[in-house]
Copies of this chain bind each other. A is one copy, B any other.
């Protein structure tokens, strides 16, 4: 792999981060911060999450997470219910309002994707999607991801 290749890949990285500006994708025009949106997403998709699972999946400090959850609970977006089997743990789930909020976020994210592809012909769109699949199936997962550095 020569340095020209690396240069191109890094250029793509920059392009992708800027264009898709992944950082503010989900919480666009909601009152939620990015982390809160990610929390909602995670809890909403997975169903029965517990705080420690989120700490691992989202790589957050547990104290920080605890406060985030409290905030979302205060805002009525999720609820903590005691875990029957493990009385230390609390199972997190979205309220109806939380599901609404999540649906809104998803709709916005979908819209954003649609806008990015609006000028492409169906053929071009398919080419891009195919290209994404090529990348996804070939590029290895960075091993550093597997060694969480949070407490």
Contacts and interface: CB of A to CB of B under 8 A. Distances in A.
A123 to B, nearest CB: 10
A145 B1 contact: no
Interface in A84-125: 109-110, 112-120, 122, 124-125
Residue in A25, A134, A141 with the greatest tally of chain B CB atoms within 10 Å = A134
Interface stretch (A5-13, A46-54, A62-70, A75-83): A5-13
Within the oligomer, what is the number of copies of this chain?
Answer: 2
Interface size class of A (residues with CB under 8 A): 35 or more
Interface in A3-45: 3, 5-6, 8-13, 15-23, 25
A17 B132 CA distance: 13
Contact of A131 (B11, B124, B134, B145): B134
Given A8-B132, A9-B129, A140-B117, A17 B21 contact: no
Interface of A: 1, 3, 5-6, 8-13, 15-23, 25, 109-110, 112-120, 122, 124-125, 127-136, 138-145
